[in-house]
Structure 1
Amino acid sequence: MTSIETHPVDAADPQRSIHQRSKGVLFCPACGHESPVGGDWHVELTGDTRTRRCPDCRTVVSDR
Structure 2
Amino acid sequence: MTTIETHPVDAADRQRSPHRRSKGVLFCPACGHESPMGGDWHVDWRGDTRTRRCPDCQAVVSDR
TM-score by length of 2: 0.69
1:31 positional shift: 0.3
Where do 4+ consecutive residues of structure 1 move more than 4 Å? none
Q: Unaligned stretches of 5+ in structure 1?
A: 1-16
| TM-score normalised by length of structure 1 | 0.69
Q: Counterpart of 1:37?
A: 37
Which structure 2 segments of 5+ residues have no match? 1-16
Please give the root-mean-square deviation of Cα atoms over the aligned residues, in Å. 1.4
Secondary structure at the counterpart of residue 62 of structure 1 = strand
Q: Deviations over 1:2-36 (max 9, x none)?
A: xxxxxxxxxxxxxxx6x821110000010000000
Residue 58 of structure 2 corresponds to: 58
**Matched residues, number:** 47
Choose between structure 1 and 2: higher helix proportion. 2
Percent identity over the alignment is: 85
The structure with the larger Rg is 2
Q: Distance in 1 between matches of 2:63 and 2:29?
A: 14
